Amino acid sequence: MNDLHTWLSQQHHGLRTFRTFQQKLEMLGRDDPAQRGLCRLLSGLVGSYVEAFDEEPLPVEIADGAYQRLLTLVESIDLHGNAERRLADINRVAESELWR
């Protein structure tokens, strides 16, 4: 996730960034099958945000908040942690919301 976090931290908070992030998650899940479940959860989280605001005006406050929450979430994930840590990461992603 370090590479994803680094990339994400250099992006704008617009919907295009979130769509591209989903593509990067798909590639990571394909290239590293051990991360597939976590990547799917993150992609679903991002996808629900994109769907909610696709074709709609996106207020700057909402975009900034969602971007910061995603950045913080991705930074907190340890892909090399033990099973307990990985499960905690998965559960944290599963209960996360980006904009509500």
Dump pLDDT digits (tens) for 45-82. Answer: 999 999 998 888 889 999 999 999 999 999 999 988 99
For 20-51, the pLDDT digits (tens) are: 999 999 999 999 999 999 999 999 999 999 99
- pTM for the full predicted model: 0.92
Give the start-to-end residue ranges of the domains of the chain: 3-95
How much is the average pLDDT of 4-31?
A: 95
> Are 63 and 13 in contact, with CB atoms under 8 Å apart?
yes
In angstroms, the Cα distances linking 56 to 12, 15, 51, 94 are 18, 11, 9, 25
